[in-house]
Every structure is written in C-alpha cells, then in structure tokens.
Amino acid sequence: MLSKKMEEALNGQINKEMYSAYLYMSMSAHSTNVGLPGFANWFMVQYNEEMEHAMKIYDYVNDQGGKIKLKAIDEPLSTFKDAMDMFQKTLKHEQFITKSINELVDLAIKEKDHATQIFLQWFVTEQIEEEGNDNDIIAKLELAGDKGNGLFMIDKEIGARVYAPPVDEKQD
C-alpha cells in the first residue's frame, strides 16, 4: 500500500519519465533533420527506454492499488546547436532525473515504505548507467571533434545501438 504522498510523488516521476521520452524524441527528430541518422537512432532507443521507465512506475502504482493521475507533459526544446549541445542537455537532464529518484528514495525511507525502496533500487542503478553513457559520448565528441570525419564516425558507432525490450519478470 502506498501513502498519498508516495503515490503523488510516483505519479510525478511518471510525468518526468514521459517528458524525458518526449525530449529524446525531439532530439531524434532534430538529428534526422541535420543528417545524423546514428544520433537519431540513439535518441529513439533512449525514447523507448524512457517510455519503459514510465510504464514500470505505472505498473508498480497499479500493483500497489494506487491511483494513477496523469499530468500534462511540458513541450521539449526542438532545436539544438550541435551534437555536443544535445548531449550536454541530455546529461544535465539525467542529473535532474537522478536527483528526483534520490528524492523518491528519501521519501520512501521517511514513509517507512520498504516495498517502494526496493522498487526504486532498479532506478538508482539505471541512473548510473544513463549518466555514464552520456559522459562517454561527450568524451568522444570532445576527442574526435563535433564535425567532419570525427562526427561521422561517432554517428556510425552510436547508430548501432539497439533497443532491448524488457523481459517480463512477472511469473503470474
């Protein structure tokens, strides 16, 4: 069972994950427009992962007998200076999401909600991976340059990213 506070905070996180999906969808579209299909693919995989994050919380709230309350999704940016700008914005956004997940854990501890604490551990780990991926690509862009051949190579490399849908862990 979820407390009202916890339920509200988890609903808020669904909205943040949906916004994340929207933001990366927008970056994917922008990448297509400027002729970077690999970046477009990478951000579309990211979009799918964010939808998965939102649905994970949605399912959890339902499983706990909570009430889903969907809120309006903010409009994301639609133009970006260059690939580096997109990844710096991505990293900044993921740092914001990490902070939000940490606040949810803090609340679960305060509410003595052990189930939600355990549920959120997956997100704590996921955020390490998300920030790590962004830092890696930023480092590559710094090293190889944000234009010409270097950018072409990075576009090719990250174009190979494949979305792996989650395996249903439920045994019922």
Binding site residues, ligand FEO, CB under 6 A: 17, 20, 50, 53, 94, 97, 130
Which of residues 94 and 113 has its CB atom nearest to ligand FEO in the complex? 94
Phi-psi region of 54 (alpha: psi -120 to 50; beta: other; left: phi over 0): alpha
With contact defined as beta carbons under 8 Å apart, do 113 and 3 qualify? yes
Which of residues 35 and 132 has its CB atom nearest to ligand FEO in the complex? 132
Burial of 39 from C-beta contacts in 10 A (0-12 / 13-18 / 19+): buried
Residue nearest to ligand FEO (CB): 53
Least distance in angstroms from the C-beta of 50 to ligand FEO: 5
Least distance in angstroms from the C-beta of 18 to ligand FEO: 10
Rounded to whole angstroms, how far apart are CA atoms 1 and 13?
Answer: 18
Least distance in angstroms from the C-beta of 24 to ligand FEO: 8
